[in-house]
Amino acid sequence: MTTTPSSLGRRPELGGRFTPVPDEIDAVDLPVEGTLPPELTGRYVRNGPNPLPGEESTHLFTGHGMLHGVRLRDGRAEWYRNRWVRTGALEGRPFLSEAGVDLTAVPANTHVIEHGGRLFALVENGLPYEVDGELATVGPCDFGGRLTTAMTAHPKTDPVSGDLHFFGYSPFPPYLTYHRLSAAGQDLVSREVAVAGPTMMHDFAITAEHVVWLDLPLTFQWERMATGMPFGWDDAYGARLGVMRQDAPACAVTWFDVDPCYVFHVGGACTDADGRVVVDGARYAPADVALMWGTPVPGDPAALAAATGTARMHRWTLDPRDGSVAETALEDRGVEFPTIDESLVGRPSRWRYAIADRGVRGERAGAVVKVDADGTLAAHELGPDVVAGEAVFVPSADAGRAEDDGWLITITTTRDGAASQLLVLDATEVAGAPVAAVTLPRGVPSGFHGSWFPDGLRPRE
C-alpha cells in the first residue's frame, strides 16, 4: 500500500516511496552523471522517520530518526551512509538530561542542523541529539541544563548575529516558550509566550527585528492519541499571527487575526521599509487540512469537494502601526517544504524554492519549483514516477553573486521506493537539465528536512 502526501494523517501503512530501509550501510565512489561543481565540498545530510525492522508505525510522522548522508569532494561523490539517530526510544532505555527531562520517547526524526560547530538531529517534541560528521550519535543535548522544554525542528539562525532562535511547544502549560541561543552555543535566553491553548506550532519565522508566531487551529487533543498524531482541527481556536520584537523579548506580542488555515513550513520573512512584517509560507486551507490530515473540519461542502490536500504559497503582510493584515495567494500549484538562501533569513529576498507533487485529486507530477516574490513559478519537472525531497540551496563562492547564484540539492525517490538519486540543479535555471545526479546505492525513503554542511564548518568527527 503506497502512502501518498494526501494521507499523512490517516494511514499508518508505509510503502512505496515511504518504505523504511532495514539496515545501516556504507557505499563509496558513487556513480555520477554530469559534473559535480568543485565548490560542493562537504556533506548533504537529510533526516526522516524509519521504524526498525518488524516495528509497527502508527503514523507516517513517527518512527526513529534516520540520517542519510552523501559526502562530496573535488567533483566526486565519496560516500553514502545512513545511520539511525540512537535516541532513548531506539535504545530502549531512558536518557535523562541534566534538567531531568526523560528523552526515552523522543525519535529525533525531523531535521538536522549545525550550530556552534556541532550537528544536531531535531524533533519538535524533545531535546536535540548531537551527531558527528560521520552521522554517529553523540547523545542528547540540553545546553548544560539550560534548555528545559522541547526544541522545535525549525530553529532559525540570524545570519548577522549568528544567534539561534527557536521555541518549544507543549500540551501542558506553558504551551509556548521562546529561546535564543548565542552563536557560540553558551548563552540561552528564554521566555514564555502566552497562547490560548496547546496549539501544534511546527514552524515560525524571524525578521531582523521580530519573531513571528503561528498560532493556528491544529491543537493537541487527547482523544486522538491512538492515531499516533494527537492533533486535530479546532474551529473555535481561531487563527492568528503574532509579532514580537527581538530587542525586547519581555514585551507583549502583537497579534493579527488571519483567515483559518494551517502552515507547516514558512518560506521567507522580513520587515519591509515601511515597518510591515511580511511572511511567506505554504498555507493549507481548512478543506485541504481535512483532506490531508484526516480530521473533521467545518466548511463549505463545495470547498471540501474541490480540495487537493496540498498547500499553496501564500503571503501575509502585517502592519503593527494599524493592526491591518493583507493576505495574498502567490501561486496556485500545490507545494511544500519551502526554502530560501539561508544567508537571507529574516531579510528581504526574491526567491523561494519548494517541491510540488500530486494531491489526492491528482494534481501534477513531482517537481522542484522556484517561486519569484511576485508568484511567478519555474519548475524542474520529474515526471509521474519520481518525487523530490526538500531542495536545499547552496550558494556559489562568488562574492558578488546574485541571490540565486548557486545550486539546489535534493534526494529524489521513485514512487515504488526502488531507487534514489542525489540531484543537483542550477538554481538560476531550475527548469533546465540537472547539473549532476549521484546514483545512491538504495532507495532512500521520502523523509523530511536536511542541510548542507560545507567542510569549513569542521563538525566534530
Is pLDDT of 43 > 90?
yes
Q: What is the pLDDT of residue 458?
A: 53
Q: Binding residue per annotation — 265? A: yes
Is pLDDT of 145 > 70?
yes
- pLDDT tens per residue across span 427-446: 999 999 999 999 999 999 99
| 384 in Cβ contact with 407 (< 8 Å) | no
Using pLDDT thresholds of 50, 70 and 90, give the confidence band for residue 457.
low
Using pLDDT thresholds of 50, 70 and 90, give the confidence band for residue 8.
very low
Is pLDDT of 459 > 60?
no
The mean of the pLDDT values for the chain is 90
Question: Average pLDDT in the 377-404 region?
Answer: 93
Using pLDDT thresholds of 50, 70 and 90, give the confidence band for residue 328.
very high
Using pLDDT thresholds of 50, 70 and 90, give the confidence band for residue 89.
confident
Is pLDDT of 96 > 70?
no
| CA–CA gap between residue 152 and residue 161 (Å, rounded) | 20
pLDDT over 70, % of the chain: 92
Q: What is the pLDDT of residue 293?
A: 77
**Domain boundaries along the sequence of the chain:** 5-457
Residues 6+ apart with CB under 8 A from 121: 47, 65, 67, 85, 108, 109, 111, 112, 128, 129, 130, 131, 137
Q: Binding residue per annotation — 154? A: yes
- pLDDT tens per residue across span 242-257: 999 988 777 899 999 9
- pLDDT tens per residue across span 270-286: 999 999 999 999 999 99
- pLDDT tens per residue across span 254-272: 999 999 999 999 999 999 9
Highest averaged pLDDT of the listed ranges 68-72, 226-230, 371-375: 68-72
Task: Report in angstroms the alpha-carbon separations of 391 from 220, 367, 423.
Answer: 30, 10, 9
Q: What is the pLDDT of residue 101?
A: 60
Question: Average pLDDT in the 113-140 region?
Answer: 95
Q: What is the pLDDT of residue 361?
A: 53
| CA–CA gap between residue 272 and residue 351 (Å, rounded) | 16
Q: What is the pLDDT of residue 54?
A: 87
Q: What is the pLDDT of residue 413?
A: 96
| CA–CA gap between residue 449 and residue 344 (Å, rounded) | 19
Q: What is the pLDDT of residue 79?
A: 98
Q: What is the pLDDT of residue 204?
A: 98
Is pLDDT of 456 > 70?
yes
CATH of domain 5-457: 2.120.10.30
